[in-house]
Chain A
Amino acid sequence: GIQVEQSPPDLILQEGANSTLRCNFSDSVNNLQWFHQNPWGQLINLFYIPSGTKQNGRLSATTVATERYSLLYISSSQTTDSGVYFCAVRGAGSYQLTFGKGTKLSVIP
């Protein structure tokens, strides 16, 4: 099946700093989603982005499908951004999302 690798596994930021999270995948995809899992376990949909670039406030994401990677940018980070960020993909011809292992982000005041 399709492989999904996220980096870095852990990231500590000072409040106000910017960061880039990366997601590499091993095959063609027809779905790529970024999620933020909050401390209570809820997965929040950030972006549905199988290709191209999207922005939502301080967050933006870019997927380069031909090179099999996606980037999530967080600008002016806040303590509420802390949590685990997951990338999940669905390969062409597949019915299921495959999750990466996540990036644990800690934003300190």
Chain B
Amino acid sequence: GAVVSQHPSWVICKSGTSVKIECRSLDFQATTMFWYRQFPKQSLMLMATSNEGSKATYEQGVEKDKFLINHASLTLSTLTVTSAHPEDSSFYICSARDSPIGNEQFFGPGTRLTVL
């Protein structure tokens, strides 16, 4: 199956700082990438969908100015958590599929963010 990587795998930062998470498709071109958030013992919740070269589509309740998404190439999407606060601490997971109507989604290993 297709491989998706994320970096970093974990990060600890101080309140008020910004953190950037990278998501890469290693062996395929990802026209569409997704960012999810998972709180402990809960399911995955979609935050936003990004298509290469266009603006991301955010789910209801997700602040687009706080969670900046850039999908500048077919193999890289980034999520920047701006002015992070302790309530932003969570497990962030990216996902990709290889065509706009591609069916199977592949997931990265996730990034655990802790904001002190």
Partners in one complex: yes
Would you call B1 and A45 a contact (CB within 8 A)?
yes
Given A96-B46, A100-B43, A101-B43, the answer on whether A30 and B103 have CB atoms closer than 8 Å is yes
Would you call A86 and B104 a contact (CB within 8 A)?
no
CB nearest neighbor in A for B4: A43
Would you call A50 and B106 a contact (CB within 8 A)?
no
> Which residues in A have their C-beta under 8 angstroms from that of B46?
96-98
Residues facing B in A68-98 (CB within 8 A) are 86, 88, 90, 95-98
Picked from B34, B38, B91, B112, the residue with its CB within 8 Å of the CB of A96 is B34
Would you call A48 and B49 a contact (CB within 8 A)?
no
Interface residues on A, range: 20 to 34
> Which residues in A have their C-beta under 8 angstroms from that of B93?
41, 43
- Taken together as a complex, chains A and B put the C-alpha atoms of A101 and B43 apart, in Å, by 5
- Taken together as a complex, chains A and B put the C-alpha atoms of A59 and B111 apart, in Å, by 28
Would you call A50 and B34 a contact (CB within 8 A)?
no
Picked from A33, A41, A99, the residue with its CB within 8 Å of the CB of B109 is A41
- Taken together as a complex, chains A and B put the C-alpha atoms of A33 and B44 apart, in Å, by 14
Residues facing A in B75-116 (CB within 8 A) are 91, 93, 95, 103-107, 109-110, 112
Cβ-closest 10 pairs across A and B: A43-B107, A41-B110, A48-B104, A42-B109, A99-B43, A99-B44, A101-B43, A31-B103, A96-B46, A45-B1
A interface, CB within 8 angstroms of B: 30-31, 33, 35, 40-43, 45, 48, 50, 86, 88, 90, 95-102
B interface, CB within 8 angstroms of A: 1, 32, 34, 38, 42-46, 49, 91, 93, 95, 103-107, 109-110, 112
26 example contacts (A-B, Cβ-Cβ < 8 A) are as follows A30-B103, A31-B103, A31-B104, A33-B104, A40-B110, A42-B107, A42-B109, A42-B110, A43-B93, A43-B107, A43-B110, A45-B107, A48-B103, A48-B104, A86-B43, A88-B44, A95-B32, A95-B49, A96-B34, A97-B34, A97-B46, A97-B95, A99-B43, A100-B43, A101-B42, A101-B43
